[in-house]
Amino acid sequence: MDLSYVWSFIYCLVAAILVKWTIKHVNIIVKLPPGPWGLPLVGYLPWIRKNAYESFIDISKKYGGLFSVNLGSETVVVLNDWKAVKATLLDQPNVFSGRKDVHLARYMVKKKDIVFTDGNAWKIQRKLTVQGFIKIGLLNKSMENRILDLTQNVIEKLSLYNNKEAPMDSIFFSSILLTNWKLISVIPIDKNKLQKYEDALNLIFFGLRPDNPLILFEWLRFIPPNRSGYKAFKNACDYVNNSLREIIDSHLNNWKDGNAHDLIDRYIAEIKKREINGQKAPAPFTTDNLLGTLLDTFAAGVDTTNVTCLWAFLYLAFNQDIQRKAQKELDEVVGRFRMPSLDDFTKLPYTEAIIMEVHRKASLVPLAVPHRAIEDAKVFGYTIPKGTTCYPNIYAVHHDPTLWDDPQMFKPERFLDENNKVVWPPYLMPFSVGPRACLGQPLAQMELKLIISSLLHKFHFNFPVGQNLPTFDVDYSITLRPFPYSLLIKLREI
């Protein structure tokens, strides 16, 4: 038998498949918003800096606020200005409510959490979690009392450094973690494991950063010797997941109907309602989904509040006049013989504006969590096909000179009107916008107000004399965080 005919057929078949694939993708690309050309296989990645949000700003100078770019494994759409974000996430919220299927996130939460999943089960789970938070008192006075315990814990830590240098990166994390933990479980967390939790969570956050090669090229997880960090990521996920699973199992073993003390109890109650004749309830009424909710609360909520505090006191140390102005406001409203409360914030506009400016300037999650179009969409005359990943460039919006005067400057007064009232513009979106906005926003805002105001009321923050000043360079994880720095702490006189 002449095998040349067989090989000729195979070559023609492969060529036909490639031509068909090329025509299909060219038809998609010509409908997409314009963008830069890249190279085969790697796309435009060779020209993308580590801080991709800055590269996207450069690209937008040529292609505008809505553009497409190939990142090796896929062509994505970047929403690089407020108009593009509004036209998608706000004007077509359901269409752009999907999530990109990332293997690392899938391993961590098994597509059973709130942040990284979508669809009808996600909607139910989000609503169920919000209702659980309300029932356990997230928005009432008891929550404020818990946060005041958190601030007192931080104050006690900083008081040990009076007239000394305090390593700020060791101040907030464990206190915030312990406070958030009390929301999800009345069973105390093992304090001896706090450092292990922090180390594991930091590994997870680092793994989920947008520029991680494992996200851009998922097949790298099979390449020895260290599989591009995949093994370390898995071990960190397993440690946190197993710890949370033990707490859930403990709640199940001690379950009593009508005796709900925390978020886990509330969630289990909803699961029990839907278990009929011993049959398991459908998603999201499962313990796996409960685990996913706990991961979101336990991990993301702690990290973002911690890093926001780190940026806040770095900015305040660099801006002594702003720090003193806030302290003057606090002294006039609160006095020197008690600590600030949430009720005080109706009369603390400048202090609140500082927190808002920290949100804007730091832009902790610069590209948010990627969105995905769940159906074909039209935006500014272009077609964004179903399944396309979309990156809202929050950093670009927060530093857009057409929206903000001197965006590189730290200016809290930009959020105050002529009557000294706080104004929150729609394009300030540290928690994202639309149906995928962070559900932990109320808790985070309460914590930040009480932590930052209380510490400003109690201490003054400056840099140690004779040492090099820290920089605003970022340590890029899933959040932008400052590199470790120390501040000189001084108790303010009563």
As a whole number of angstroms, the distance between CA 126 and CA 438 comes to 10
As a whole number of angstroms, the distance between CA 205 and CA 187 comes to 25
Q: Judge contact between 96 and 88, C-beta under 8 A.
A: yes
- Residue 37 CB-density burial (10 A; 0-12 exposed, 13-18 middle, 19+ buried): exposed
β 486-491/480-482 pair status: unpaired
Q: Judge contact between 35 and 74, C-beta under 8 A.
A: no
As a whole number of angstroms, the distance between CA 368 and CA 487 comes to 30
- Residue 401 CB-density burial (10 A; 0-12 exposed, 13-18 middle, 19+ buried): exposed
Name the token pair of 124. Answer: 């139910």
438 is in an annotated binding site: yes
**What are the beta bridge partners of residue 164?**
489
**What are the beta bridge partners of residue 39?**
43
Task: Give Cα 239 to chain centroid, integer Å.
Answer: 21
- Residue 63 CB-density burial (10 A; 0-12 exposed, 13-18 middle, 19+ buried): middle
DSSP for 412-467, written as a single string:
GGGGB-TTS-B---TT--TT--GGGS-TTHHHHHHHHHHHHHHHHHHEEEEPPTTS
Give, in order, the Cα–Cα distances in Å from 378 to each of 50, 440, 491: 30, 31, 57
As a whole number of angstroms, the distance between CA 395 and CA 78 comes to 12
Name which of 128, 124, 120, 180 is nearest 150 in CA terms. 180
As a whole number of angstroms, the distance between CA 279 and CA 394 comes to 44
Residues annotated in the binding site, as ranges? 438
Residues annotated in the binding site for heme, as ranges? 438
